[in-house]
Structure 1
Amino acid sequence: MDLAEVSARMADGRLYASNSPELFAEQARYRDVLDAYNRLPFGNADERERLLRKLVAEAGTDCMIEPLFHANWGGANLHLGDRVYANMGLTLVDDADIFIEDDVMIGPNVTLCTGTHPVAPRLRAKGAQYNKPVRICRGAWIGAGSIVLPGVTVGEGSVVGAGSVVVHDIPAGVIAVGNPCRVLRKIDEADERFFDHGKPVDPFWLND
């Protein structure tokens, strides 16, 4: 199976050999750039932005991924909207596309995973893998230490609580927590007026 066929299988969810030497060689090119990104001094914001745009498939304005940032394809399949912020320790298993839309916040030590394997040991021993894309919709917040598994979409504006394991899609406008992650409640108008168990929100925060 040549590299073009493997790449097509990676993108469309078919089984492919993840232990291919040709794939490792391709990964190395991206990982070298990621290593350079992680070694930059914190204050070198211009160079960090330049390297981020070199790493990812696409990036909007005002995006920041704090180092250390880990990705087995160096972010090559990562699509960033505008004003995306990811705290330190972001880990991407980015064998397929990961879409992170505008105004998404990601806490420290979050994993977004697109790659998975058949359950049959005989197939895994041959390196069999398949991929399913992940999407984090506009304005969502993924809490610290959460894991988002292959094929999952987190809906617009939703909050995933810290330490959650997200195995199914999360609808828009909810708070969801746990392992497996389940909807706790809807986000409503009261959440714009009060925070942290009843503390009032200053009015200026609500000015457009």
Structure 2
Amino acid sequence: MNNTHAIFITEKEKMLRGEYYNAFEKSLLKDRKKAQKLCKKLNDIPDGSHKKRLKILQKLLQTKKDIWIESPFRCDYGYNIMIGDNFYANFGCVILDCNLVKIGNNVQLGPNVQIYTATHPIHIKERISGKEMAYPITIGDNVWIGGSSIILPGITIGNNSVIGAGSVVTKNIPNHVVAVGNPCRVIKQI
């Protein structure tokens, strides 16, 4: 007798494993809709209303931390974003958190910083079939990311590093450096 059991893997589990997944699966759509509503609610609150904003951010990001994110802010799910102490994001931040985004302590993001875990297949047949993938991003402690920088899927930025404004981070950045450009590259040790 064969005692093998089929193992059912959800689309969310596939997403978090970095495998092809269907982003339009019902539970993922529901989760994104919830995040969209919370982002809209956050973005509709006047600047300076710290308590109201913090309450929404804590619900969206499922945290008790005292964080500050200026409006407008957008994310896909919210629950895949893990933020350390003393976090600040300036206006226009977008975090596509289809996979985990781990942000350390004392991190500052300039205006219009974009963090993308989501990506799509390069091969046209797979891409038009609707397949997606997502790879985690880790940003270490004491990192400053300059305005209009883009962090691509699967990237790690090391502790105490600075990313210059307008950079496109396509490769991992080590600890204690200044890195700038498109593609972003290390220009100086700190």
Give the direction of change, closer, same or farther, for the CA distance of 1:143–1:59 in structure 2 (3 Å limit). farther
What's the counterpart of residue 30 of structure 1? 35
What's the counterpart of residue 68 of structure 2? 64
Q: CA RMSD in A?
A: 1.4
What's the counterpart of residue 91 of structure 2? 88
Does the CA contact (< 8 Å) of 1:58 and 1:78 recur in 2?
Answer: no
> Unaligned 5+ residue runs, structure 1?
188-208
Matched, 1:107 2:96: no
Does the CA contact (< 8 Å) of 1:142 and 1:159 recur in 2?
Answer: yes
Does the CA contact (< 8 Å) of 2:35 and 2:75 recur in 1?
Answer: no
Which of the residues 140, 154, 170 maps onto 1:137? 140
Which of the residues 150, 154, 165 maps onto 2:153? 150
Q: Structure 1-normalised TM-score?
A: 0.84
* 1:25 to partner: Cα distance: 2.6
Q: Point out the more displaced range, 52-61 or 166-175.
A: 52-61
1:4, 1:55 → 2: CA distance?
25
Matched, 1:14 2:19: yes
Does the CA contact (< 8 Å) of 2:58 and 2:65 recur in 1?
Answer: no
Matched, 1:51 2:56: yes
Matched, 1:120 2:147: no
* 1:20 to partner: Cα distance: 3.0
Query: Percent same amino acid among aligned pairs?
Result: 37
Letter in 1 for 2:157: V
SS in 2 for 1:127: coil
> Unaligned 5+ residue runs, structure 2?
1-7
1:68, 1:165 → 2: CA distance?
21
* 1:80 to partner: Cα distance: 0.8
Residue correspondence of structure 1 range 166-177 to structure 2 within 5 A: 166-177=169-180
1:43, 1:161 → 2: CA distance?
28
Q: Structure 2-normalised TM-score?
A: 0.92
Q: How many residues align?
A: 183
Does the CA contact (< 8 Å) of 1:118 and 1:129 recur in 2?
Answer: yes
1:181, 1:110 → 2: CA distance?
14
* 1:43 to partner: Cα distance: 2.6
